[in-house]
Amino acid sequence: MRHSRRDLLTHTARVAALSIGAQVARPFFAVDRAFAQAGTGVTGSAAPSPREQTGMRLVLLGTQGGPNVNLQRAQNAQAIVVDGRPYLVDCGYGAVRNLVAAGLGYTQVGSIFLTHLHDDHTSDLPALLSLQWTGSRSQPTDVYGPYGTGALVEAAVAFAKANADIRRVDEERTARPESMFHGHDLPATVTAAQAFADDRLTVRTIENTHFPERSKAKMAYRAIAYRFEARGRSIVISGDTAYSKNLVELARGADLFVCEAMDQSIYESTVARAKAAADAGNANAGVLRHVADTHSTTSDVGRMAAEANVKTVVLTHLLPGSNRAGTTEFPDSNYIDGVRQHFSGEVIVGRDLMVL
């Protein structure tokens, strides 16, 4: 039987995609939704949407680290889905689009949790709330996060005001954004504290170490990590953080430890660049020092995972991730090998739209 060149190319592409998926998804539990096609966000049709499943699922909506934009990975965001109900954790650029791509939608999200208020974790929030109002969401949406979250939501409502004013006249709508969207500032505590509970999910928080003491002395803003528990399963999301004893306590025995990760070579390069910039009086030195001092290397992740005795590590907020101009991503082994210095359990390198 003869095959056309198109048939051959199609078959080759399918084999390559399956091969990539096999390399990336090696958990001992099932990955429910295919993400195999080189992390592009193209999903398979074999598995049902997380909204159609019972139990507790994690959906990675954005896995790129840092305040930048590329076409392979969205900024940081993930969803916890419990018996079909989605809860959003962080809302970086691309989160709304990937909520739709994951089959979750955006009007169904009623509870949002922010780890901190850097723009790569919040930039899609005004769009999400505005689109919920335009999409005729009828229930309130509550946004939880550290100091400044209430003010952030008020600003998002102000962003939506012109749209709402026009549509209230032109489309005879009656709902007001300010009555629907509510922000809640959570305390940043040094011991785990319950922050939220409903009929499906319990949430606890703790302060992590994303903001160094020198910065905290000059501002009220803080960064927190979350532990989500439902249906006998626990998922901990680190947020941005350097090594954190508080986070270790929060993560003890967790089924999934979802943690940011910086490749060791990127860390070492950033430290060297920060020193050179400081020596030269370069204004960029502070940015570089921030990157080096306030994020977790893969070795840090492995150390925290081992100390907390978690079952599985999921790496996200990846540095460099897909932000290597003109080059391909690091192989997964670069990230995994760093974690393996301290942790012998399952390690999964996150991709957008992966479901665990």
Model pLDDT for residues 117-153, shown as the tens digit of each residue: 999 999 999 999 999 999 999 999 999 999 999 999 9
First to last CA, the chain: 41
Q: Encode pLDDT of 40-84 as tens digits.
A: 333 334 567 888 889 999 999 999 999 999 999 999 999 999 999
d(CA 228, CA 159): 30
Domain ranges of the chain: 28-349
Least Cα distance to 117 among 207, 240, 296 occurs for 240
Which run of H or of E encompasses 281?
none
pLDDT score for 33 = 36
Answer whether residue 309 shows pLDDT above 70: yes
Answer whether residue 10 shows pLDDT above 90: no
pLDDT score for 47 = 67
Contacts of 288 (CB under 8 A, 6+ apart): 270, 273, 274, 277
What per-residue string of b and e applies to 160-175 under the rule 16 or more CB within 10 Å gives b?
Answer: beeebeeeeeeeeeee
Phi, psi of 337 (to 5 degrees): -60, -35
Let me know: does 203 contact 228? Beta carbons within 8 Å: yes
Contacts of 91 (CB under 8 A, 6+ apart): 77, 112, 114, 121, 122, 123, 124, 125, 128
d(CA 64, CA 41): 13
The token duo for 1 is 């039987």
Which run of H or of E encompasses 128?
helix 125-134
Let me know: does 63 contact 74? Beta carbons within 8 Å: yes
As a whole number, mean pLDDT of residues 251-257 equals 98
Answer whether residue 222 shows pLDDT above 50: yes
The token duo for 156 is 């998002």
Q: Encode pLDDT of 272-307 as tens digits.
A: 999 999 999 998 899 999 999 999 999 999 999 999
pLDDT score for 22 = 31
d(CA 270, CA 277): 10
CATH entry, 28-349, from 3.30.310.50, 2.102.10.10, 3.60.15.10, 3.40.50.720: 3.60.15.10
Going by pLDDT thresholds of 50, 70 and 90, the confidence category of residue 352 is: very high
Q: Encode pLDDT of 84-126 as tens digits.
A: 999 999 999 999 999 999 999 999 999 999 999 999 999 999 9
The token duo for 318 is 């990846």
Strand partners, 145: 185
3-state secondary structure of 262: strand
CA distance readout (Å), 231 to 32, 99, 196, 235: 17, 23, 16, 11
Let me know: does 177 contact 164? Beta carbons within 8 Å: yes
For the chain, the average pLDDT equals 89
Contacts of 356 (CB under 8 A, 6+ apart): 27, 29, 31, 32, 57, 58, 60, 256, 312, 314, 348
